[in-house]
Chains A and B, each alone.
Chain A
Amino acid sequence: MANIKIAQAKATSQIMYGVCTACAVLIVATLVLITGYLLIIGLHSLNWRFFVNLPQSDSPGMRNSIDGTIILVALASLAGIPIGMLAGVYLSEYEAKSVLAAPVRFVSDVLAGVPSIVVGILGYELIVVPAGSYSGWAGAAALAFIMVPIVARTTEEMLRLVPASYREASIALGATKAGTILRVVIPSATGSLVTGAMLAIARVAGETAPLLFTAVGSPYLVHNPSQPFPSLTLRIYELSNEPSPEAQSQAWTGILVLIALIFLVNLSVRYFTRQRK
Chain B
Amino acid sequence: MTAAVEFDSEAITHNRRSYGEPAMRCAATASAIVILLMLAALLVVLFAAAVPSMRRFGMEFLTTSAWRPNSLPVLKMDARGKPIRDRRTGMKVVDHYDPPRFGALAPVTGTAQTALIALIFAVPLSLGSALFLVRIAPLWLIMPVSFLIEFLAAIPSIAYGLWGMFVLGPWMGGPARWDRVAGLVPMPAGIESRLSGFFMRISGLHWLAEQQIGGKTVPIPTTGRDILVAGIVLGIMIIPIITAISRDVLRSVPPAQIEGTIALGATWWQSCREMLKYSRSALFGAIILGFARASGETMAVLMVMGSAATIAASPFTAGTTMASTLAGEFPEAATNDLHRGALMELALILLIMSLAFNIIARYLVVGKSARTSAAH
Task: Indicate, yes or no, whether A interacts with B.
Answer: yes
- A224 at the binding interface (Cβ < 8 Å): no
- A84 at the binding interface (Cβ < 8 Å): yes
Chain A residues 222 to 242 lying within 8 A of chain B, measured CB to CB, are 233, 236-237, 240
Per-residue 0/1 for B123-141: is the Cβ within 8 Å of any A Cβ (1 yes, 0 no)?
A: 0111111011101110000
- Is there an interface contact between B128 and A22, defined as CB atoms closer than 8 Å? yes
Known contacts: A17-B268, A31-B148, A118-B350. The answer to whether A213 contacts B330 by CB under 8 A is: yes
Closest Cβ neighbor of B295 among chain A residues? A115
- Is there an interface contact between A153 and B166, defined as CB atoms closer than 8 Å? no
- Which residues on the B side are within 8 Å of A112 (C-beta)? 358, 373, 376
- B313 at the binding interface (Cβ < 8 Å): no
A106 to B145 CA separation, bound complex (whole angstroms): 31
- Which residues on the B side are within 8 Å of A164 (C-beta)? 1-5
- Is there an interface contact between A23 and B154, defined as CB atoms closer than 8 Å? no
| Residue of B151, B269, B292 with most chain A CB atoms under a 10 A cut-off | B269
B326's partner among A121, A126, A206 (CB-CB below 8 A) is A121
Closest Cβ neighbor of B236 among chain A residues? A30
- Is there an interface contact between A248 and B166, defined as CB atoms closer than 8 Å? yes
- Is there an interface contact between B267 and A90, defined as CB atoms closer than 8 Å? no
Per-residue 0/1 for A1-25: is the Cβ within 8 Å of any B Cβ (1 yes, 0 no)?
A: 0000000011011011101111110
- Is there an interface contact between A13 and B28, defined as CB atoms closer than 8 Å? no
- Is there an interface contact between A116 and B298, defined as CB atoms closer than 8 Å? yes
A94 to B243 CA separation, bound complex (whole angstroms): 34
- Is there an interface contact between B156 and A207, defined as CB atoms closer than 8 Å? yes
Contacts A34-B163, A116-B298, A150-B376 known; list 6 others, CB within 8 Å: A15-B269, A28-B149, A86-B27, A101-B32, A149-B35, A207-B156
Can you name 28 A-B pairs with beta carbons within 8 Å? A13-B268, A13-B270, A17-B136, A20-B129, A20-B132, A21-B136, A23-B127, A23-B131, A23-B132, A34-B155, A37-B163, A82-B31, A86-B28, A87-B35, A101-B32, A113-B355, A113-B376, A117-B350, A152-B31, A174-B12, A176-B9, A199-B374, A206-B158, A213-B331, A240-B162, A252-B162, A255-B162, A263-B154
Task: Give A residues with C-beta under 8 Å from B.
Answer: 9-10, 12-13, 15-17, 19-24, 26-28, 30-31, 33-38, 40-41, 82-87, 89-91, 93-95, 100-101, 103-104, 106-119, 121-122, 124-126, 145, 148-150, 152-154, 157, 160, 164, 167-168, 171-172, 174-182, 199, 202-203, 205-209, 212-213, 233, 236-237, 240, 248, 251-252, 255, 258-259, 262-263, 266, 270
